Each structure stands twice: as C-alpha cells, then as structure tokens.
C-alpha cells in the first residue's frame, strides 16, 4: 500500500502527524507486518547506496560474474557469502543484468553490438544473417595474434565440431593448428546453423579467405573426424591439401560399435554410475585394432587386418563400410 505522513490537524501543521493510506486516508494496514524487510524496494535501494561506498558493490559483483557467464542464482549465492545480511534479492540481480545489457547495446541490436565489439578488438570475422528474421546464421572469428602466428605454423589444420548442445542451439566449429613446440594454437572458431555439407563449405571458404587476406599459407594436411559432410567440404575447399582422419575419433567410433556387437558385462562393487564394463572380447578386439592401426608395413597391416575381421563378421563389415 502507498502511504504518506499527514498532519492530524490540517490547520495545525506544527502539531502531531500520523501515517495515512493515500487512497482512503485510513491508518489501518491491509496486510500483516512484513517478515523480511527485503520485500520493500526502499530498503534495498538504501542498502545499495550504502554499498556504493564500500570497495566492492553489488554492481561490481554482478558485472564481473555476468561477464564470466555466471547464472543469477550463483551470483546471488556469492553475494550471500560476501555479506549474509545483504538486502539484495535475485530480482535485483536480474535488474542489474538487464541494465548492463542495455548499457552494452546502447540502442543497437545484439548482432550490431557483437560486431562492434569484434571490430574494436581487432578480430577478423565474417558473418551471414537471415534477412527475414535477422537471426545470425554463420559467424567466423579469429584473433589477430593467432592469425599472425598461423603464418609460421600452418602445416596441420585440425577441425572439429564441439558443444553441439548449447544455449544458441548452434554447433561450434574449432579450427586449431600445432606450433613448432607441439602445442595447440586456436586459429579460428565458427558458429554454424547445422552440420550439413553446405555449412562446412561456408566455414572453410571463410577460413580460406582469411588465410589469403592475411598471407597465411594453405595447410599441408587437414585433419577431420569421420563426418562425411565435413570430409567432403575439405575436399572441395582445400583440394591441394592432404586429408587425414583423426585416430582418436575413429577409435572411439570403433569402440562404440564393438560394445554393441560384443555386449557389456556386469561388475561387482562398481563405482557410482558404472554398473557395466567392456566384455573381454571387446578389449581383445580393441587391442588388435590398435596393433593393426600402428602397423609399420603394409604387409603387416594386411595380415593384422585379416585377423581382426575374422574375430567378428559384423565388425568386419563395419570396418569395410
């Protein structure tokens, strides 16, 4: 209810005053006494003004954690740890996040603000937007420092999609290279609307354009997983580069298929969440698979490959597919 302070005798303002309801002039409350003063905005506003004089304000805490992608509930938990008597509530955090977003956008659309930020920080980027919905379809970006280093180390280009489930519902294509110290260097990232061949073609064409514009040599070898759409796109965009499949991805796919063919067995005193383990036949098959892959001669590979197929007809067909 809205209240005000009025004189008991309107003709004697120097006399006694009373609290009155602004609607009907009564002084009776239509609700019980508040159990928590945090439900009153005035108290929280006064608390916020008090905190502005301290070293770390609510806004400071919210801004830092919002930039790190922390959820409102976790931000609130952090505030309670720093001051268990805080008068702030989750709604205040949501309001602070909204205010910060409005300040960052500054009358721009989300896409415009993003592009301005990338441009201000010197990123190389390309994008494609649906003209009807204004939804971002593709976005490729690369840091200027890594682009400069790529001129020296563009021998191997490794590409793979990760984070297939995220808040945007878009796969993230990572393109990385290896330095002379055998360390990983992120080269570029691309948001894709899907994992069809045209999506990969767009991404690789933009990567190729970036290499040409920044005098980065074409990769000698391109590594991918066994995704046919990705593999076909690399053949189309980088026809002069050698192509290789990632052994880790291949082995993971073979292991998953072997588990289906040979089955799993129950274990005693298993760790939490792990009630089954590989069948012995699965372990034997994978050991022979690793030995076959690591063969040093073509003849050795053929001999081991024959024995591998003889273990299980179904797995033999899978490997030949």
- The structure tokens listed for 212 are 């040409």
Round to whole Å and give the CA distance between 40 and 56.
23
Average pLDDT over residues 94-101: 79
Round to whole Å and give the CA distance between 20 and 2.
9
pTM over 0.75: no
Residues in the chain: 321
What is the C-alpha end-to-end distance of the chain, expressed in Å? 74
Highest mean predicted confidence (pLDDT) among 88-102, 118-132, 252-266:
118-132
DSSP at 296: S
Round to whole Å and give the CA distance between 241 and 221.
5
Q: Which of 38, 41, 36, 35 is nearest to 2 (CA)?
A: 41
Round to whole Å and give the CA distance between 195 and 230.
8
Confirm if 163 and 171 have CB atoms less than 8 A apart.
Answer: yes
Could you read off the pLDDT of 140-181 as tens digits, one per residue?
A: 999 999 999 999 998 899 998 876 566 777 889 999 998 888
Would you state the pLDDT for residue 167? 72
For residue 29, the tally of other CB atoms under 10 A from its CB is 12
């Amino acid at each position: 209810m809205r209240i005000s302070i009025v004189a008991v005798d309107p003709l004697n303002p120097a006399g006694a005053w009373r609290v009155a309801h602004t609607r009907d002039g009564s002084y009776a409350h239509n609700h019980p006494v508040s159990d928590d003063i945090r439900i009153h905005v005035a108290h929280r506003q006064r608390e916020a003004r008090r905190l502005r004089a301290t070293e770390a304000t609510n806004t400071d805490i919210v801004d830092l954690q919002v930039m790190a992608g922390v959820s409102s509930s976790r931000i609130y938990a952090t505030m309670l740890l720093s001051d268990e008597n805080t008068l702030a509530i989750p709604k205040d955090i949501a309001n602070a996040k909204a205010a910060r977003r409005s300040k960052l956008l500054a009358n721009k659309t989300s896409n415009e603000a993003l592009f301005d930020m990338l441009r201000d920080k010197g990123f190389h980027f390309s994008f494609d937007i649906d003209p009807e919905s204004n939804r971002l379809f593709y976005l490729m970006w690369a840091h200027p420092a890594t682009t400069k280093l790529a001129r020296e180390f563009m021998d191997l280009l490794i590409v793979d999609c990760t984070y297939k489930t995220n808040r945007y519902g878009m796969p993230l294509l990572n393109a990385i290279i290896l330095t002379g110290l055998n360390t990983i260097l992120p080269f570029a990232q691309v948001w894709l609307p899907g994992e069809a061949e045209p999506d990969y073609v767009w991404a690789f064409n933009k990567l190729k354009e970036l290499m040409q514009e920044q005098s980065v040599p074409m990769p000698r070898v391109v590594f991918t997983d066994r995704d046919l759409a990705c593999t076909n796109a690399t053949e189309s965009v980088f026809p002069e580069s050698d192509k290789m499949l990632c052994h880790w991805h291949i082995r993971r796919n073979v292991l998953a298929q072997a588990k289906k063919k040979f089955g799993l067995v129950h274990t005693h005193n298993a760790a939490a969440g792990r009630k089954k383990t590989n069948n012995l036949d699965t372990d034997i098959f994978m050991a022979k698979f690793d030995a076959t892959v690591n063969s040093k001669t073509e003849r050795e590979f053929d001999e081991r490959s024959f024995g591998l197929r003889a273990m299980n007809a179904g797995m033999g067909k899978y490997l030949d597919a």
